[in-house]
Amino acid sequence: MDAIRHYSEVHEGETLPDLRGRRFSNALFSDCRLRNVAKARFIDCVFQNSKLEAADIRELLGVAVTLDCHTFQGTELSDVTLDAILYLLTLGKGNDAKRSAIEELIGPRRVAEFRRMFPGAE
C-alpha cells in the first residue's frame, strides 16, 4: 500500500463479482478479485495485487479506468481483459506494423469477436 497516499475507500482481500455501473474515485483494491465491471467507473483507483477476472467481453463493456503507473501494479488480468485493452490500441491510426502485431497476438478469433461487439469502432 502507498504510505503517502490517502484513499477514499479501501477494499482488501475482497471478492467483488458484480460492480456493474458503480463509480469509484481514489479507491484502493488490494488483493481483490473483480469480475463484472461493465459500465463501472474507476477514477484514480489502484488495483494492487488484484485480479480482474472478466470471463466474457460483456463483463467489460463501458468500463472506464484512469491510468497512471500504479493503476495495474501487480494486477493479474484475465485473457479477455488483457486482449480487450490491447484491442483498443489497434483502433487508432499510424503505427500500422505494431497495430497489426497486436492483432496477431490477440488472435483472429478474438479480434473477430471484438469487431462484432464494437461495430463501427474501426
Asked if 87 and 69 sit in the same domain, the reply is: no
79 neighbors 61 (Cβ within 8 angstroms): no
pTM score: 0.88
Count: domains in the chain:
2
Asked if 36 and 48 sit in the same domain, the reply is: yes
pLDDT at 16: 98
Q: What is the per-residue pLDDT across 52-79, written as a single tens digit (0 to 9) for each?
A: 999 999 999 999 999 988 899 999 999 9
Q: Which triple of cell numbers denotes residue 101? A: 502485431
Asked if 48 and 13 sit in the same domain, the reply is: yes
| pLDDT over 70 percentage in the chain | 96
Picking from 43, 59, 77, the residue at the C-terminal end of a domain is 77
Asked if 24 and 72 sit in the same domain, the reply is: yes
C-alpha 12/C-alpha 92 separation (Å) is: 36
pLDDT at 4: 77
The whole domain housing 87 covers 79-122
C-alpha 113/C-alpha 122 separation (Å) is: 13
| pLDDT over 90 percentage in the chain | 88
